[in-house]
Copies of this chain bind each other. A is one copy, B any other.
Amino acid sequence: MYAPGDVRVIDAPDPRIEEPGDALVRLVRTCVCGSDLHPFHSMKPNPRGVSMGHEYLGIVEEVGADVATVRPGDLVIVPFVFSCGVCDFCREGLQTSCRLAGLRSRRGSEGAQAEILRAPLADGTLYKVEAGEERYASLLTLSDVYGTGFHAALTGGASAETTVAVIGDGAVGLLAVLSARLLGAERIILMGRHESRTDLGREFGATDVVAERGDDGIQAVRELTGGDGCHVVLEAVGHLPAFEQALGIVRDGGRIARVGVPQYTEGPIGRSQFARNVTITGGVAPVRAYIDRLLPGILDGTVDPGRVFDVELPLSEAAEGYALMDRREALKVMLRP
């Protein structure tokens, strides 16, 4: 990506093993993320371009001398942040804060919208899986969006005892619905305006859909909940009005879990949240931590999170993929390298 709206597919040198913990992974599926649209709208032009993409499914092609857990030929999920797997944060399941990688460093690795990835810290990062091509779309969601939706539902405390609202009908929002259902929630209100998306949300478990936003949306959710709002609000947008909406629909004593990347630095966290004992949680999802838990349902066909991909394009048409998502003509675009 060179500038807002300017996405080009170029020939780049193949990556090579640089550290003994590296693996080279030939990607079989990758995609465009809703968060990629933020720079697509507002990045500072960069004449050298920025390598994009962070969701990967691929086949190991070569491994460095220290790699013990994967071999060439293995199908692997590559979480969107890399992690060593052995530091205290990784062991606690907060791989996003890994001391050797996480959000601190990509260790020189390039983006996922490519043919080949150099995956650093392969033993801690890559997750080997055995599955046929019909599962590829769902497996790819474990690289980011499904794990991110699950992070929202888990940190938000979704359960059979809670009423849950999900703000945002993008892929993460819809998979937050699926995750809340998985954690037992029986009443799930999805806030979104795109009927084809909210229809999929209903299939994932949403019991109510609210298309209104702002004060009207708050009013509608409050009416659905006897005036009180929801115990758990999963905010999967990232813009300040979405957070303000979350504050407006959360029940006293409730929890807001944010998984949309905040496009703001300051926000309302004063006396009104304090008086109502509202907890604000969530964050960048350590998706690596959730694969053990989420994979079985995909492999046995209980869930099909890959349905969030409604358009598939060859990697060479990545620019068209961005444009379709930007125009809301695609929910999420899968790319085939």
Task: Name which of A175-183, A186-194, A261-269 contacts chain B.
Answer: A261-269
Report how far A318 CA is from B252 CA in the complex, Å. Answer: 35
The answer to whether A274 and B282 touch across the interface, beta carbons within 8 angstroms, is yes
The answer to whether A271 and B262 touch across the interface, beta carbons within 8 angstroms, is yes
The answer to whether B280 and A269 touch across the interface, beta carbons within 8 angstroms, is yes
B-chain residues with CB within 8 Å of residue A276 when the two chains form the complex: 97, 283
Name the interface residues of A151-196: CB closer than 8 Å to any CB of B. Answer: 155
The answer to whether B282 and A252 touch across the interface, beta carbons within 8 angstroms, is no
Report how far A276 CA is from B253 CA in the complex, Å. Answer: 23
Chain A interface size, under 10 / 10 to 19 / 20 to 34 / 35 or more: 20 to 34
Q: Which residue of B lies closest to A94 (CB)?
A: B253
The answer to whether A96 and B277 touch across the interface, beta carbons within 8 angstroms, is yes
B-chain residues with CB within 8 Å of residue A311 when the two chains form the complex: none
The answer to whether B262 and A274 touch across the interface, beta carbons within 8 angstroms, is yes
* The residue from B94, B258, B270, B282 contacting A267, defined by CB atoms under 8 A apart: B270
Q: Is A284 an interface residue (CB 8 A)?
A: yes
Q: Is A245 an interface residue (CB 8 A)?
A: no
The answer to whether B266 and A270 touch across the interface, beta carbons within 8 angstroms, is yes
Report how far A203 CA is from B285 CA in the complex, Å. Answer: 40
B-chain residues with CB within 8 Å of residue A103 when the two chains form the complex: 275
B-chain residues with CB within 8 Å of residue A271 when the two chains form the complex: 261-262, 265
Report how far A277 CA is from B258 CA in the complex, Å. Answer: 10
Q: Could you tell me the dominant secondary structure of chain A's interface residues? A: mixed
B-chain residues with CB within 8 Å of residue A92 when the two chains form the complex: 253
Q: Please give the count of copies of this chain that the complex contains.
A: 2
B-chain residues with CB within 8 Å of residue A278 when the two chains form the complex: 283
The answer to whether A268 and B270 touch across the interface, beta carbons within 8 angstroms, is no
The answer to whether A89 and B252 touch across the interface, beta carbons within 8 angstroms, is yes
Q: Is A279 an interface residue (CB 8 A)?
A: yes
Q: Is A69 an interface residue (CB 8 A)?
A: no
Q: Is A105 an interface residue (CB 8 A)?
A: no
Q: Is A207 an interface residue (CB 8 A)?
A: no
Report how far A252 CA is from B103 CA in the complex, Å. Answer: 11
Q: State the Cβ distance, A212 to closest chain B Cβ, in Å.
A: 25
* The residue from B258, B273, B281 contacting A283, defined by CB atoms under 8 A apart: B273
Q: Which residue of B lies closest to A272 (CB)?
A: B265
Report how far A262 CA is from B274 CA in the complex, Å. Answer: 7
B-chain residues with CB within 8 Å of residue A277 when the two chains form the complex: 94, 96-97, 155, 282-284, 286
B-chain residues with CB within 8 Å of residue A261 when the two chains form the complex: 271, 274
B-chain residues with CB within 8 Å of residue A94 when the two chains form the complex: 252-253, 277
Report how far A276 CA is from B103 CA in the complex, Å. Answer: 9
Q: State the Cβ distance, A273 to closest chain B Cβ, in Å.
A: 7
Report how far A279 CA is from B273 CA in the complex, Å. Answer: 14
User: What is A's interface to B at a CB cutoff of 8 Å?
Assistant: 89, 92, 94, 96-97, 103, 155, 243, 252-253, 258, 261-262, 264-271, 273-284, 286
15 contacts between A and B (CB under 8 A): A89-B252, A96-B275, A103-B275, A155-B279, A269-B269, A269-B280, A274-B282, A275-B283, A276-B283, A277-B282, A277-B284, A277-B286, A278-B283, A279-B280, A281-B281
